């Protein structure tokens, strides 16, 4: 029972972090979309898209790191 509770807590903590990351990503994406909508510059549009791709990659990498940390923490407690 304690292993199940430990894993449930680890998973809950991971979900909270992932939701925080997702909310931050959504806010940044909306800000970029608003900036892009006001821009008439093709070079600015390309720069914003490149920034969004980089940010998405970094966010995904952070999700994977959080998953690994949560799993390692849970495994060490067993």
Distance from C-alpha of 28 to C-alpha of 15, rounded to nearest angstrom: 20
Residue 78, pLDDT > 60, answer: no
Q: What would the DSSP string read from start to end of 4-32? A: HHHHHHHHHHHHHHHHHHHHHHHHHHHHH
| Segment 25-62, tens digit of pLDDT | 888 888 888 888 888 888 888 888 888 888 888 888 88
Residue 14, pLDDT > 70, answer: yes
């Amino acid at each position: 029972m304690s292993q199940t509770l430990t894993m449930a807590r680890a998973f809950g903590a991971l979900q909270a972090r992932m939701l925080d990351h997702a909310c931050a990503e959504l806010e940044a994406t909306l800000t970029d979309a608003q900036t892009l909508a006001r821009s008439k510059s093709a070079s600015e549009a390309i720069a914003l898209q490149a920034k969004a791709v980089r940010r998405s990659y970094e966010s995904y990498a952070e999700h994977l790191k959080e998953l690994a940390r949560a799993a390692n923490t849970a495994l060490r407690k067993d």
